[in-house]
Amino acid sequence: MNRARTRGAIALAGAAAIATVVGLASSANAGTTLGASAAEKGRYFGTAVAAYKLSDATYSGILDREFNMITPENEMKWDATEPSQNSFSYGSADQIVSHARANGQRMRGHALAWHSQQPSWVQNLSGTALRNAMVNHVTNVATHYKGQIYAWDVVNEAFADGGNGARRDSNLQRTGDDWIEVAFRTARTADPGAKLCYNDYNTDGVNAKSTAVYNMVKDFKARGVPIDCVGFQSHINSGSPMPSDYQANLQRFADLGVDVQITELDIQGSGTTQANTYASVVKACLAVSRCTGITVWGIRDSDSWRSGDTPLLFDNNGNKKAAYQSTLDALNGPGGGVSTPPTSTPPVSTSPSPSASASPSNTGGGTGNRCTASVLINQWQGGFTATVRVTAGSTAINNWTVTMALPAGTTIVNTWNVNRSGNNWTNMSYNGRVEAGQYTEWGLQANGTAGTLTPTCAGS
């Protein structure tokens, strides 16, 4: 391989890659804001945002100070984005995406296929016409936002409440059981770089509904249906309290080889009780290495869809509540490293035509380098992601550098959990420490063909 040419080819993308990394780390405010504290633990902290509130200075001020992930509360839903058939309207959603881009925040897209908030023309369709309309919708919206969405809620709330673990009856469900996997495959084709999530409520503990979702995810993984993550809405209130097996439930999904995310968190209550529950949710996420982030469903209590429950982290005037402080303290607390014993299922390729090549490599430098690196490539037509795992040897390391050249002609689109300098990829502030025998992972997305990548690792 011609290393000089490789460096030249990827240099152009360097600025974008560095900008991404800086946005993730935000270390200037580490420990003092939700987003920066979460980033120190390799996670994000997000909120739902309403486009029409962005002109409210109090609202935007808190948003940009505290949050590094945004979910549009309503603006990317079917009724908003395709009000009449095949006529797309992205104004409000684009406004949020522009805001996020200008302020170094990433986006969760919400939601491509859902039985609710459908425009009336969709409600009047059925059968093949509805299925085709769904595929067209997913294709258009995911393509419009291609490259700009960290994770999509591809399908939302497709399972029924109650004890039998059945699918929810809906017009989409009546097009056939396979509507969910069709939506996921369509989204993958449209935006191969986005993580694809299934999102639901009342799935926060181990119960019949969450087990039904679990079985679907397991089946998808077994059959190569592209799914990367599961969202747990976590609307917690007196009728739906935080389950005692909340963490165990997150963990069992993570063990299937998907990321888990808390996607719409709000907790009815006030004072210490509410604050303690928020802290418990944060700790549960930090205890699960594949819990990649937390999103609260609004900023101030007055912004909430259930404002009477005062369920959020800021009061109506934008002041921090006790729940804010307990959340921040939990984020800054012990634990929560992204390094965990490799007990869970290794990452699984999720490309439409999987061509994963895991090439475990030694350090190339004999016994002295204290870590090994391996890479999992997820290649699709024209692009790929590479997930690199750094595993410590028999003693813990505090810093690591992976040396890995990309082939000439590839251009980096995005990187995560890593700093890059040419062919040298080094740890961020929060993931340098890897305990003996444990691992941490980082990755990149690039255009082009990965071929065989041969990372080597040096730890100190």
Q: Which residues are catalytic?
A: 157, 264
Q: Which is nearer to ligand 9MR, 199 or 339 (CB)?
A: 199
**Nearest distance, CB of residue 118 and ligand 9MR, angstroms:** 10
Q: Residues 387 to 446: which contact ligand 9MR by CB under 6 A?
A: none
Q: Please list the residues that pair with 152 across neighbouring strands.
A: 109, 196
**Residue placing its CB nearer to ligand 9MR in the complex, 40 or 200:** 200
Angle between helices 246-254 and 271-286 (to 10 degrees): 20
How many alpha carbons lie under 13 Å from residue 207 in its C-beta half-sphere? 19
**Cβ-based nearer residue to ligand 9MR, 304 or 339:** 304
Q: Which phi and psi angles does 116 have, rounded to 5°?
A: -105, 165
Alpha-carbon separation of residue 15 from 196, 256, 447 (angstroms): 26, 35, 15
Distance CA 34, CA 325 (A): 9
Strand partners, 425: 402, 420
Token digits of residue 278? 């928020």
Site membership for ligand 9MR, residue 74 (CB under 6 A): yes
Cβ proximity of 455 and 373 under 8 Å: yes
Q: Which residue is nearest to ligand 9MR (CB)?
A: 305
Query: β-strands 411-416, 439-447: how paired?
Result: antiparallel
In the complex, minimum distance from the CB of residue 298 to ligand 9MR, in angstroms, rounded to a whole number: 7
- Name which position in 40, 73, 82, 181 contacts ligand 9MR (CB under 6 A): 73
Smallest separation, CB 119 to ligand 9MR (Å): 13
Could you tell me how many residues of this chain bind ligand 9MR (CB under 6 A)? 9
One-letter amino acid for residue 110 of the chain:
H
Q: Which one of residues 233, 295, 349, 410 is an interface residue with ligand 9MR (CB under 6 A)? A: 233
Query: Exposed, middle or buried: residue 57 (CB in 10 Å: 0-12, 13-18, 19+)?
Result: exposed
For residue 300, the surrounding DSSP H or E stretch is none
- Figure out which of the listed residues 2, 32, 98, 117 binds ligand 9MR, where binding follows CB under 6 A: 117
Torsion (CA) 313, 314, 315, 320 in degrees, nearest 10:
110
As measured in angstroms, the least distance from the Cβ of 233 to ligand 9MR is 5
| Contact code string over 267-306 relative to ligand 9MR, x by CB under 6 A | --------------------------------------x-
Edge to edge, the sheet with strand 411-416 lists 371-380, 383-392, 439-447, 411-416
Which residue number, 48 or 130, has a Cβ lying nearer to ligand 9MR? 48
CA 99, CA 93: separation in Å to the nearest integer?
Answer: 10
- In this structure, are residues 250 and 232 in contact, taking their beta carbons and an 8 Å threshold? yes
Selected binder of ligand 9MR within 116, 124, 381, 429 (CB under 6 A): 116
Binding track, positions 191-220, relative to ligand 9MR; x by CB under 6 A = ----------x-------------------
Residue 264 binds ligand 9MR, judged by CB under 6 A: yes
**Closer Cβ to ligand 9MR, 233 or 387, answer by number:** 233
Q: Does 307 bind ligand 9MR (CB under 6 A)?
A: no
Binding site for ligand 9MR (CB under 6 A): 73-74, 116-117, 156, 201, 233, 264, 305
